[in-house]
Amino acid sequence: MSESGWTILCDFDGTISVEDVIDSLLDRFGRPGWEVLEQDWRAGRIGSRECMSGQVDLLQMTRAELDAHLGELWIDHAFPGFVAKARELNVPIRVVSDGLDYAIHKILGRYGLDTLPLAANHLSPAEPPKQWQLTSPFQADGCRSGTCKCACVAQARKTGAKTLLIGDGASDFCAADRVDFVFAKHRLIEHCRATGIDYVPITGFEDALEFLPKLLDGSLASHWHHEPAHALS
């Protein structure tokens, strides 16, 4: 167990990163058809692993084009400070993402943060040139996501530590039901409200920086949102 008694699992796209990496790549390099896969995923007809694998197949770009594009993407300005504070407080952080490992390493590397433990889909070159393929080393039986965040939670719990999830969207919903507390952005706020999960809303890592010490010392309780579904209008 960590000295703090807590461990952090943090989403990447839309949480650490300012925008969704795969969406930005598809907008720029995607061949026709990726929008249909996106619609099928949003309608629940396919899982995120099938959706993303098909979408990556439709990307057409050189590695140089990919790297140049990733060089234009940014992270929350307060995230490096949050990582530093977590390390000071002896709270381990693992990035858990249904996104692309190569992209995450490249982007975090600009900030000296590419040593953070990572669970994500694996992006690799394919034939012919300018083609790419996706594999999912962190998938789990019965889970349609590329990275099973619930399995990541279960692994973290084996250490005996409490788990904090920081996330923003649908890929975090299942894991949010299994952790001890949530710092929630965007759609994850509505999920936590609707299901009665203890959380605090954040707009970014400036808020997370403020809340993390309070979570650890127990003083965050006055900020908790725990709203049973029946209490919602």
Task: Look up residue 30 and give its DSSP letter.
Answer: B
Residue 166 contacts residue 11 (beta carbons within 8 Å) = yes
What whole-number distance in Å separates Cα of residue 52 and Cα of residue 167? 19
Q: What is the pLDDT of residue 93?
A: 98
> Residue 4 — φ and ψ, nearest 5°?
-75, -20
Segments of 66-170 assigned E as strands: 93-100, 118-126, 131-135, 162-167
- What tokens appear for 161 in the block? 């530590």
Q: Provide the residue type at 126 as one letter.
A: A
Tokens 């719990």 appear where? 157
Closest CA to 188 of 156, 160, 165, 209: 165
Q: Return the CATH superfamily for domain 6-19+74-121+137-231.
A: HAD superfamily/HAD-like (3.40.50.1000)
Distance, CA of 78 to chain centre: 16
Tokens 């996501």 appear where? 145
Q: What is the pLDDT of residue 3?
A: 81
Domain map (residue ranges) of the chain: 6-19+74-121+137-231
Residue 120 contacts residue 147 (beta carbons within 8 Å) = yes
pTM: 0.93
pLDDT tens for each residue of the chain, 233 residues long: 778 899 999 999 999 999 999 999 999 999 999 999 999 999 999 999 999 999 999 999 999 999 999 999 999 999 999 999 999 999 999 999 999 999 999 999 999 999 999 999 999 999 999 999 999 999 999 999 999 999 999 999 999 999 999 999 999 999 999 999 999 999 999 999 999 999 999 999 999 999 999 999 999 876 666 544 433 33
